[in-house]
Each structure stands twice: as structure tokens, then as C-alpha cells.
Structure 1
Amino acid sequence: MLHTDVLIIGAGPGGYVAALRAAQLGMKVTIVEKEKLGGTCLNVGCIPSKALIEASHYAAIPDKAAATGVHFPDAKVDFAVLQAWKNNIIRQLTDGIAGLLQHRNVKVIQGVAAFLDPHTVTVSGDEDMVVTFDSCIIATGSQPVNVPAFSFGKRILSSEGALSLNKKPSSLAVIGGGYIGVELGTMFANFGTEVTILEGLPSILSGFSSEMSTLVQEELNGRENVAIHNDANVSKVESSNEGVVVNFEVFGESRQISADYALVTVGRKPNTEALRIDKAGIEATEKGFIPIDSACRTNQPHIFAIGDVTIGQALAHRASLQGKLSAEAISGEIVDIADHVIPAVVFSDPPLATVGPSQDKLTTEGVTVEVHHFPFSHNGRSLTMNNGKGFVKLLVDSLDQTILSAEVAGEGATELINELAVAIQSGLTAEDVSLVVHAHPTLGESIMEAADKAIGFPVHSL
């Protein structure tokens, strides 16, 4: 039997951050984690995927460099070395988290937690135990949706399986053209794999504006080793020791493709089934998501839920923010997640990033907005990087010129979006941003140029 001030179930980017913040605030903290510190994001998601995506950019250098007059021999990829490099990054980060938790006296228990009542869980692991708590934070994350018609196996992969391959596939069928499918499909295409993306909706990356998704689709369609089928309904995947055969329909026409592997990225579901949350009196939706208030409280005021188990964007940085806020709420502070703007990024080619409400949402809410673009084709640094595709787009309140929302598509988008998040979070106007001197030549100048355009004095655009 163990008692703790705060019990945190799950040690992903939400859970371990919540633990560190709660410990900073003077609470006795215990984490229960069934697998590895860092959760899906650090071990089999965000970090390993971005490591391999970065490596795939190196593999694509010969083709891109040729346009500048620099020629390399064909790239050769040693997947065993690649995986070892990726795993070393994961090990460095997980060891760092373990050290931080130990330094702040957070107790870590390996096992699976399930509620007995609103203040008690059982933990099944190497050593079974009962833990009682004053407050609890549920941070158990999510897992890939396993579709019965193409269940995961040796040749039918989840994102985790695709990131663990020790040999480059010669061909890959990607079922699902959301951000995970596009990121990993593009990564393998950069390595030289023949990639086919099958998306059931009219466009890939449907969660982003059509202007952004079209830019990525056009880039991928321009590659010899990539094919995209939108409005594609996959009915069955036949698997053998040699590969897969994917059966699908496009506007009623039956089609079939063969590949070494099929990668299924049709969504994720919350990890709440094993928790027995009903024993704690916690309400959940039909799909297993846990409703929360603006301080991350469930219907049980002393039990909080954060990250992918809650309704909203399944983003690691959102989970980390919720982890901090829930720990602060437990300590008695007044917090409100609605006060924060949360960017979203896709490591596609070109990369995409957005922050703030969409233009449609703002219009629906009755806000009159002005839209201002600055193309990267007018940015000197972008052109010297041999990549002038993309844009910065600002959505500005037409009444007071406050920046409400922003999009960046193109080289550096995943980093540039943070400056715009600061601007929106701080309530800055287009003029405020225009007056900030940006170093030259940099991609960030495009943000200043878009702001110049918003105030009616564009310099390097009409």
C-alpha cells in the first residue's frame, strides 16, 4: 500500500511534465507507467519519426543539389545504422527524463493502473500494489486504430512498426493521408521507396487549409516515386510473406496495388479501456475520450485528464501544457487552457504550420478578418536555400489589426510558427510585428513582410 499526494497515470509528454511541475510545487508525486518513460511521443512517435525524417532529407540531397550545380553520387542508406542512431537519441532523452524525475523525488512505478474507487488504483506489474491518492492526473495517451479489414501484422504496419524497419522497403502503400501518413510516406519516398498514398477524403491533410494541403500534394505528385489517390475507399488488404495487395475503390472503380508493406494511419484512439474509469465515477464519451473543463478537471474534481485521452488536438505540446496547468490547478492556482494558443505542425515537404482559429471558424464567430500573404519566392534566404515554395499568411482583425491566426507553408515553417504563436498569445497587432527588426537574410523576414503588408506598407511585395 502506498499513498501519494498526486498520482499520475502515464509518463508521456503530458504525464512526466505534470510530475515535474507538481514536484516543483512541493507535492509528493508518483507516476505509474506501463512501458517506457516518454510515452509514445518520445519512444515510437514524435522523436523517432522526426529523426528518420531528418535523415531522409540527407538522402534527398543529391537530387536537390543538382539544380545548384553541385553533384553527388547516389545516396546509399544503411537502415541498421540509421535505426541505431535514432535509438541513441531516444535513449539520451529518456535517460534525461529519468534523471529529472529522480532529482525531484518523483516515484516511478512500472505497471498497469486501474481504478478501484475515486481515490484508489491497483497497479499490476512486476510487483502488484495498491496506491491511494489525494489527486490524480490521467495521461495514458492513445494508440493507432486497428481496422479489422487490415489488422496490424508482419506486412501491415502501424506507424510504430514503420519506424522500426531495419531495411528500406522497395514499395509502400500508405492507407490514410493525414499528417502521420504524409510525414512517413514522404520520408520513405526520400529514401527511394515507391510510395502510394490512399486517402478516403477529397484531399490529403484535410485538417489544414486547402492552400496548404494543395502545396504538399503538388510537391508529392511531382515526384516519380509517389502516387496519391484521393477519394480512395480501401476495402481489404491481403497479406503474404512477400508483401501485400491493397484493394480499393475510387468513385466506384475497383483498383488494386501491390507493395512490400502497407502502413495504416487512419487515426488513433484513447487508451482508457484498461483504466476502469467507471470505478472512479469518471464520465467518458462513447469513443472513450474523457471530457474536461478549462482546468483539465474531469467530473470528479480531484481527478484530471490530459493529452490524447481528452477531446481536442492530439498534440504532444498540448499534453505538456495541460500537464503543467493541471499540476498548478491541484496546487490551488486558477488556470485556464483556453487562454493559450496551440500551434500544429506537419513535417511534410514542404513543411506546414498553423496557429490560431481557421478563417472559416473566425467568420462563423462573426469576426471580420483581413488575409495577408507574403510568398517565400520573394524572400532572399528562401531562394538561397533553393526552396522558394510556400508563404506566410496572417489573419488580422479588421477592426484593431490584432493578429488572430497564422499559417506558414515552406522551409522553416515548423520553427517560424513559434514567433507567430508568441504574437497571438501576446495580443500583438500587425504593426507591433512590423516594427520588430528581423535579421537579414533570414526566413523570419517573411513574417515581418507579411505584417508590413497588413498595415498597408509592403516593401518586397505588391
Structure 2
Amino acid sequence: MSQYDVAIIGSGPGGYVAAIRCAQLGMKTAIIEKYSTLGGTCLNVGCIPSKALLSSSHHYEEATKHFEDHGIEIPGEVKVNLEKMIARKQSVVDQTTGGIDFLMKKNKIDVYQGVGSFKDATHITIKGEKEEEIEAKNTIIATGSKPSSLPFINIDKERIITSTEALKLKEVPKHLIIIGGGVIGLELGQVYKRLGAEVTVVEYMDRILPTMDAGLSKELNKVFKKAKCNMMVSHKVQSVERNGDEVVVKAENKKGEVVEFKGDYCLVSVGRRPYTDGLNAEAAGVKLNDRGQVEVNEHLQTSASNIYAIGDVIKGAMLAHKAEEEGVFVAETLAGQKPHIDYNLIPGVVYTWPEVAAVGKTEEELKEAGTKYKVGQFPFRALGRARASGDIDGFVKILADETTDEVLGVHMIGARCADLIAEAVTAMEFRASAEDISRMSHAHPTFAEAVKEAALAATEDRALHV
């Protein structure tokens, strides 16, 4: 029986990063993955493939709607080859997962394919093509999450689908109905809207992106409506039925009226649930809470002292970069170091166009806490760089403490915000004030100038270009 200092169950961003860091710190490390490729949901059927399709569909939209504005004329009709687009997406996935294979070999990490199941707190049974058992002094649970559904919905994976199936459709839907106005639904909705589908988003809450700052929700809703998407907020889905190639969704609006939507595909995008199937956690003394999450303490340690858990399978935002930070945290904890994670500074990003990104507190949270704050906001349309590229939708908003001027939250929607948010995270990690950011030189012309201008606006309303 092979023995290890640490075994990681699950090879998503949290798991494989934890394995690499453990190996770097001198631990004999094994990683266990049930699927034939490493990388988990993110690399195989999540972050990476969805961004590939977002990029491809964005190019198509630019070619059909905006190239002419730039003096670029394309003879003939620009057409979508969905099969080739999906194939390109898969090649990106294959390259990325292949890169993880390389990293495992480089760091001398043993990879086991199969379902990892606890026999007890130090022994793991792996059921794959063959059954084998390993012994691990410490174990990290990194089994991730799966798409959630509603109890009355029968997901057939053909017409009533999850994000997994939406990434490999063989045709562009005529009318795609999306249940859920969160990140995944909006990103995939924008992909297929660009490619020619009619898109209807049905959201239970009174706005899309309900966990983000309300200003961002309002601005992105405006963008989607401008693209002629049907945005049906405050609608409670009651039933989803398939009749041949037609899907009928019935929902109750805030007036109590039942409305009906008919399409050829329905994407169920109501969040994700922790995945612990087959783990046999109880055999190792690992407790789960009533939401199916693995319970952990502030050290990410479970009720079994030698077993830790990270990522989507524990509480907190289900984000790949959160899982990565937690993987490094546990590895360094096992090595006797004193790492830290500030969960308030884990950014959230929506990869629509314009992109949406945020870090820290929202206005709603500050009001609820009774914190006195000031707001600085700057529109992208006032930026020379935005006008030059034609990306004028959106704004940057900075929330700062009214007394100390410390930045408490940064919320942005616009071109390249997925990258711009890192500046805000860096500033907040060092407890910068709005004044600090406003005094930093930002290259001109850039989208990043919007951050400086928003900081100026929060500092005695000193924005220069509005």
C-alpha cells in the first residue's frame, strides 16, 4: 500500500494547486480524480470553456455589428460555424488540462483515477478501472460542486439542460429560456444571443446578479435589454415541461399572474451544490452541515483533525480563485507556516461584455451595517480609451469610509474590468485610501484611468474628466 504525507481528493483549481504547493513544500503527495482529465469543473466544463465561447461569440458580434464602424468591410455574409466554435473551445480545454498533467509530473505528484472514498481517517479506497487503497497522513477534500436544480424540474440533458450541456450544443437555439439571472446564466445567455438565439432570462429575485452591488445589476440589465434579451425578474418558476422539441416554462410574476414561456431549449442555472457523492465522509469522522457542505474551522480543518476541505465543497463563494487560495493555505498550514486569507478581498467577476467585477462591501451591506461612507463614480464613456475602442458602457464605483477615507468596496462594469479589479484588490490589501489611489499615476489613455477618476470623485468630488 502506497503511503503519502497528503492526499487530495479532487483535481479542480483548489485541488491541483494544493497538490503543487504541498509538493513544493516537500510533502509526498497524491491526487485523486474521478474523471479521465484533471482540472475539475473549472477547466473542463466551467470557467475555461465558457470563456472560450464568450471570446468566439464576441468576435462574431464585433464582425457583424461593429467592424463597419471601424472602416472594416467584409465581403459576403459572416456566418457562424458552431461545430468549429465548439471544437476550438474543446481544444482550449484539452491544452489547459494537458498543462495540469505536465505540472503533476513536474512536481512528482502521483495521480490516481477513480472515485476516492474514505475507509477511515487515514485510508482512502480508490475505485476506478481497478480498486486500490492508499494511506495518507493528511487529506484535503476538494471535490467541488455540481449544478443545482429545482425539485420539480427533470433535466434530460437534451432540451432541459445545465451549463455542462450548454457548452456543447449542436445548434444555436431558436429561443433559449434561462432559469436564473446569476453569473453562469448571463454568460451563456450572452453567448447564444450573440449567435442569433432569442434569449429570455427568468429570475426569482427582483434583479439579476442579486448578490452584487445593485448599481452593477441595473447597468448590466440595461445592456441585456439593449441587446433585446427578455429580462423577467421577480418571476417564480412553477413548472418546466418538455413536449417534443418544445420546452414550456410557467412562472408566477409579482402580481400573482402565471405567465408562460415557450422555447426549444431551457438552461437551468439556479446555482451549484457541494459534491460529496461517494466520499463516505462519515467513515472518516467528517461532518457535513444541513446544506451538504463539509464543516470546517478557521484553519479549514474538518471534524477529523488530519482532514481539511477547500473550495466549493465548503461555505463561501464558489469561485476557482477562492479554492486556489484555500489550497495554498492548507498546504502551508500543514508545513507549519502561518498563511492568511482575507475573504472580504476575494473578487467576483462576471465575464459578460461589458465585464462586471467587484471586491469588498456593497452599498447595501454598508447601509445595513450602519457604516458611514462616501461614493466616487466615474463613467467609461468619459474615457478617451473607451471612446477609441467603442466600449463606452459602464462605470467604476469606489466606496470609502466617510471618516478615514479607507476604501471599503470597489464595483465596476465595463471593458477589461475582470483585469482592472486586481488594482482594487491590491489597494485594499494594503488598506489604501481613495486619496492614495487618486494620487497614483495611471497611464493615458487606458481603461484603468476610470479607477483613478472614481477615487478622485470619492475624494472631495475631484474627478477631472466629468
TM-score, normalising length: structure 2: 0.95
Q: 1:125 aligns with which of 125, 128, 135?
A: 128
Distance 1:426 1:339 in 2: 14
Following superposition, the deviation at residue 453 of structure 1 comes to 2.3
Note the 1:265-280 alignment, pairs <5 A. Answer: 265-280=269-284
CA contact (8 A) 1:155 1:240 kept: no
- Contact persistence 1:236–1:246 (CA under 8 A): yes
- Give 1:37 shift: 0.4
Residue 64 of structure 1 corresponds to which residue in structure 2? Answer: 66
Does 2:312 align with 1:308?
yes
Quote the offset at 1:236 in angstroms.
1.8
Shift of 1:113: 1.0
- Tell me the SS of whatever aligns to 2:342: helix
* 8 Å contact from structure 1 (residues 341, 424) kept in 2: yes
Query: What amino acid does structure 2 have at the position aligned with 1:63?
Result: K
Task: Tell me which of 235, 248, 251 is aligned to 1:232.
Answer: 235
How is 1:158-237 mapped onto 2 (pairs within 5 angstroms)?
A: 158-224=162-228, 226-237=229-240
Q: Are 2:31 and 1:31 aligned?
A: yes
Give how far 1:212 is off: 0.7
Q: Given the alignment of the two structures, is residue 345 of structure 1 paired with residue 349 of structure 2, yes or no?
A: yes
**How far apart, in 1, do the equivalents of 2:68 and 2:226 lie?**
17
1:214-255 deviations in Å (ceiling 9; x for gaps):
11111111233x211112222222224423122222232222
**In the alignment, which of 282, 295, 301 is matched to residue 297 of structure 1?**
301
Is the alpha carbon distance of 1:357 and 1:300 closer, same or farther for their aligned partners in structure 2, counting shifts above 3 Å? farther
Q: Distance in 1 between matches of 2:239 and 2:364?
A: 36
CA distance in 2, matches of 1:304, 1:454: 42
For the 8 Å contact 2:24–2:107, the answer to whether it is kept is yes
Out of 232-241 and 361-370, give the one that drifted further. Answer: 361-370
Asked whether 1:107 is paired with 2:106, we answer: no
Judge conservation of contact 1:294–1:338 (CA < 8 Å) in 2: no
Counterpart-to-counterpart distance in 1, 2:343 and 2:321: 15
Residue 294 (structure 1) shift: 2.6
Counterpart code for 2:26: G
Partner of 1:408: 412
Q: 1:139 aligns with which of 115, 126, 142?
A: 142
Structure 2 distance, partners of 1:233, 1:451, is: 39
- Output the CA distance in 1 between the equivalents of 2:78 and 2:151: 38
Pairing 1:361–2:340 present: no
String of CA shifts for 1:365-412, please: whole Å, max 9, x gaps: 453221111111211111112122211111112222222210111111
In structure 2, do the counterparts of structure 1 residues 233 and 71 end up closer, same or farther at CA, with 3 Å as the change threshold? farther
1:5 aligned onto 2:5? yes
Q: Secondary structure at the match of 1:381?
A: helix
List alignment gaps of at least 5 residues for structure 2: none
1:437 aligned partner, one-letter code: S
Inter-partner Cα distance in structure 2 for 1:359 and 1:173: 31
Q: How many residues align?
A: 461
* Deviates further, 94-103 or 349-358: 349-358
Q: What is the percentage of aligned positions where both structures have the same residue?
A: 38
Q: Which of the numbers 313, 334, 351 marks the counterpart of 1:330?
A: 334
Query: 2:297 corresponds to which letter in structure 1?
Result: D
- Quick check: 154-163 or 55-64, which moved more? 55-64
Distance 1:216 1:338 in 2: 28
